[in-house]
Amino acid sequence: HTYAEGENDAWCAARAAVGAVDGTAFYFGGGQCGDGCSCCKRDDPSYCDNPVRGADFIELSAQRRLEAQKWFDAEVNVFIISMPNDPKRRREMVFKMAQQNITFQFSMGVNLSKPGEYQAAKQSGLVPPSFNISQAQSFSDVGIRGTVGCALAHRRAMGSAISKARWTGRPLVLVLEDDAELVVDFKVKVHKLLHSEVPCDWEVLSLFSRCPHGRCVSPHLHRVAPNVNVPAEQCHSGSNWMALGMLYQAERLPRVRSKLRQAQWNPRRPLCLDVDVALASISDAVAYYAVSWNLRPGFMWTNPVSSDRADINYA
């Protein structure tokens, strides 16, 4: 369940204890709502977290599909983040994007397990001068080099996207991680979402948000909100995870990137280094919308491969 104003865990727990409210059953905790999610409800067909709303558009005419594909190709710059030492994943993504007829470019990730990589990122300005990775590590119970590398990879991709948008004139940017699997009608779904559902003020749109938290605004979208049940020093973490497929308004991306820089690079709050956590934490200052991962099949899913970030963090 994505909480609206005045709703929280206590609110959900009370309704779960009752059993049902107005014909809708609430569930709280106990693993009933998916990994890491505290609250959910069932039997509300208008709800933006309902799995049946993720169905593919199998009855569209060839003309409608062609219009959506032409729009996507003319309006969207696509970037795929990939680690330099993983050519296999890049070959796989080249094949998958060819199947979708999507033109893209790779944006190289940052592997901080490689000697000298952090210093190089700092010298290039990718890492803010005020950030101290040793200090940040002292505030974390687990390794953070993989997390920092992931944050830098998204920051680099955003910078490249801003530059490319200026000379292509395309108003939209899609940043994918290299374990993203797109549905067959991906272009059609994105076209429909942006033309019939997303509010005009949007700046950021996650196409795969795990454990959604916010307020439903349309059949497939919720407006993300900071999880105030978690304190700010923990970056309000615990909801709207994943940055598998992020869509940005190109003209707003410099502002979003600047806001992220302010939120992420505080060594006393290492949980904010995760780009998904940081974006959710500033969703009261950025117009951030998301598609729940509970939609089946939705827009995309994640390929069950090992996580480079986790591998480096726990090395």
Q: What is the DSSP letter of 241?
A: B
The percentage of the chain sitting over the pLDDT mark of 90, rounded to a whole number, equals 67
- List the domains of the chain with CATH numbers: 9-44 (no CATH), 57-313 (3.90.550)
User: Distance between the two ends of the chain, CA-based, in angstroms?
Assistant: 35
Q: Which residue has the tokens 């505290």?
A: 38
CB 303 within 8 A of CB 182: no
Determine contact, residues 7/180, Cβ cutoff 8 Å.
no
Which pLDDT belongs to residue 32?
67
pLDDT, tens digit (0-9, with 9 covering 90-100), for 258-296: 999 999 999 999 999 999 999 999 999 999 999 999 888
Q: Mean pLDDT: which of 49-58, 224-233, 237-246 is highest? A: 237-246
Give helix 62-75 / helix 186-196 axis angle, nearest 10°.
Answer: 80
For residues 213-227, give the mean pLDDT.
86
Residue 22 has pLDDT above 60, yes or no: no
- Say how far residue 25 (Cα) sits from the centre of its chain: 28
Looking at the whole model, is its pTM more than 0.75?
A: yes
pLDDT tens digits along 40-68? 876 554 467 877 778 776 677 889 899 99
Average pLDDT of the residues of the chain: 90
Indicate the pairing of strand 300-302 with strand 245-249.
unpaired
pLDDT-derived band of residue 247, with 50, 70 and 90 as boundaries?
very high
